[in-house]
Amino acid sequence: MKSFCLILITLTVFTGFSQSLPINFEGDITTADFVNFDGGTAIVTTNPMPSGINTSSSVARIIRDGEAAWAGSKILLTDNLDFSVLTKISMKVYTTAPVGTTVKFKLEGTGSSVDVDATTTVSGTWETLEWIFVGTSNDLNEIVFMFDIGNVGDGTANSTFYFDDIEQLVGPIAPTELSLPIDFEMGEVDTDFLNDGGATATIIPNPQVDGINPSATVGQITRNGGEYWAGSKIFIDSNIDLSTQWQMSMKVYTTAPVGTRIKLELENADGNTNLDYLTTVSGAWETATWNFHGQDSDYNRIQFLFDFGNVGDGTATSIFLFDDVQQEVGPAIPDPRPTTLPVDFENSVVTTDFTNFFGSVASVIPNPHINANNPSGTVGKFVRSGGAGYARSKLALTDFIENMAAFGTISMKVYTDAPVGTLMKFKLESNVADFGKEQDAYTTVSGEWATYSWDLSNADNGIYNVLTLMLGYATPNDASANATFLFDDIQQIATLSDGTSQIVNLDNIISYPNPAKDVLTIRAANDQIQTITLFDILGNQVKTLKPNSQKATMHVSDLASGIYTAKISTLEGEGSIKLIIE
C-alpha cells in the first residue's frame, strides 16, 4: 500500500561504490556495492530460473533472516534520479513467497525519502513490478530494497528474493496542481488525477442533479479490480492550512450500501494522515466530513479512497460521484484525557481519549456481542484501517503503574473474527521518558470473547503510564472484520511464577516463523541459549533442547496444531514466549 507506508529510517553507512540506472547485474554491480541492514543480505549471483521474461545469466539476491521486519539492502547511485519525465521504476522479481507479498521500493538521499509498495502476482516465476514516483523531488540517489516488508524473515525460500533489470521509465504525467475549493467547474480534466491500485477518476456531467448537489459537473471514481486500497489523488498548489479551517468536506453519491468506508488522506513528500467516513445513505447525495483538527499544515495532496477495504468490481456499487471538495470550520477535538486502571469503558473513557498512529482507529462503542463472557454494555473498538503493519492506539493513565513486580501482568477481554493465532501486541510506555516494554499474545478463538494476558512484570515500579494496543500486528489493514478487534476490562493481575527460578523477560529473544509448520528457529541477540523446553496448552512438556548457542532449530512437524509455550533459559535468566504450530 504505497499511500499508507510509514517512512522507515535505516541507520547505515555507505561503503559501496556509486552506480547509475539502469542496473542489470551483468558487471555493473557487484556484491560489494550493496549495503545490508537489519537482517537482509544481498549478493550478485547466478540466475536460478533463466526463463520467461528474464534469461539473464546474473541477478541479485536478498535473503532475509531474522532481526527487523524492514530488513533489506541498498545501493548508492552516482547521480540524483530525475522524475520530471521518467516517473516510473520497474524491476524484475523472482520468489517462491506467496502471491501478494509486498515489495517496498524506497528512495533516499539529501531530500525527503519516499517509498512505494508493489505486491507480487505470481510465485515461482519471474515478473515485472512497477513503482510510480510522480511528484517525487529530484534530490534522491539511494535505492533501497525491502522485500516482504512488515514480516521478519526466516532464511527460508519464502524469505529469498531474486531481482534484476532495475530501470527508470516514462510513467504517468504529473497532474496539474489544483486549488481548494474544487467544484469541477473550473476546467479540471481527467489527467489532473493520479490513479492507483485499480481506481480510475474522470470528470463527467452530473448524472444525479438534485437539491443537495445541482452542479453540472462532478468527479467520478470507478474501482474495478486491483487492490483494496485503490484510489485517486490530486495535487494542491500550496500547503493546506489547517490552523483554522481544519475540517474537510465533500459531497458524495453512491449506490453502495450504507456504511461504506470513504477514506480521505492528506499527503506530502514526508508522510500522510487519513480519516474515515462511513456513508449514511445509498442512492442519494450526502455531505461527508473529515475533522483534521490538530494536524500539521504541510500537506499538499489529497487522496480519495472509496469503499476502502474491498476490491471493486466495476459495477454500480463500485462507482462513486463526488463534488465540492473544500475546507471549513469544524468542531475542535478535545485533548485526550488520562484514565486509571482498570478500564471498563462504562463511564471513564471516550473515543477522543485515544491517540491513534499508523492507520489505527480506536473508539468506544456499544457492545455488539453481549454474552456471558462479556456482559458489559460498552467496549473499546480497534480497527486497522490503512497505515502500517504496526498500527497502534494509545491510552494515557493518570498515574504510573505501581507494584509491577507482583502485579505486572495485564489482562484484557478481546473479541475478533480474525483467525485463531492472530498476533496481538500489548505495550507499556512512558510519556515522560523513553521507557517501553511489550509482549505478545495470540488469539485462541474466533468470533467469541476471550480473556488474554501479557506478562509485563518488572522490578522497576512507577515508570509506565501509557497503554499501547497493537492488535492484529502485521496483518492486513483493510478495515475488514478480520482487522477489527473489540476489547474491554483492561486490568492488572498477579504475575505467576513456576517456583523453580526467577523468571525474567528476555527481550533479546526472537522466534520464527510464527506460526511454524515444520521447523522453528529461536535466536538470542547477544546471549547463549542453554535450554529450550516446549509445553503444550495444557502444560505438558513435549520437547526439550539444549543448544548452548545463540541460535537453535527445533523440528515441530510431529506436534499437533495449537498454541505452545517455550520456556527459554539463558545466562541472563529464564523467560517464556508463546508459539503457534500449524
Q: Where are the domains of the chain?
A: 2-169, 190-328, 351-493, 509-581
Give the CA diameter of the chain. Answer: 78
Question: Quick one: fold of 190-328?
Answer: Jelly Rolls (2.60.120)
What gap in Å lies between CA 155 and CA 534, rounded to an integer? Answer: 23
The hierarchical CATH code for the domain 2-169 is 2.60.120.430
| pLDDT-flagged residues of the chain (< 70) | 1-19, 459-460, 495-508, 537-539, 572-573
Summarised one tens digit per residue, pLDDT across range 289-335 is 999 999 999 999 999 999 999 999 999 999 999 999 999 999 999 99
Q: What is the pLDDT of residue 549?
A: 87
Radius of gyration of the chain (CA): 25
Q: What is the pLDDT of residue 502?
A: 31
Residues 6+ away with beta carbon under 8 Å from 377: 346, 366, 367, 370
Q: What is the pLDDT of residue 501?
A: 27
Return the SS3 of 445: coil
Return the SS3 of 64: strand
Give the bridge partners for 59, in sequence order: 45
Q: What is the pLDDT of residue 497?
A: 44
Tell me whether domains 190-328 and 351-493 share a fold.
yes
Does the predicted TM-score (pTM) go above 0.85?
no
3-state secondary structure 201-265: EEEEECCCCCCCCCCCEEEEEEEEECCCCCEEEEEEEEEECCCCCCEEEEEEECCCCCCCEEEEE
Tally the C-alpha atoms within 13 A of residue 525's C-alpha that lie toward its C-beta: 9
What gap in Å lies between CA 546 and CA 570, rounded to an integer? Answer: 11
What gap in Å lies between CA 537 and CA 255, rounded to an integer? Answer: 48
Burial of 490 (0-12, 13-18, 19+ CB in 10 A): buried
Q: What CATH class is the domain 351-493?
A: mainly beta
Query: Going by CATH, does the domain composed of 509-581 fall within 3.40.50.720?
Result: no
DSSP string across 2-60: GGG-----------S--B-SSB-SSSS--GGG-EEETTEEEEEEE-S--BTTB--SEEE
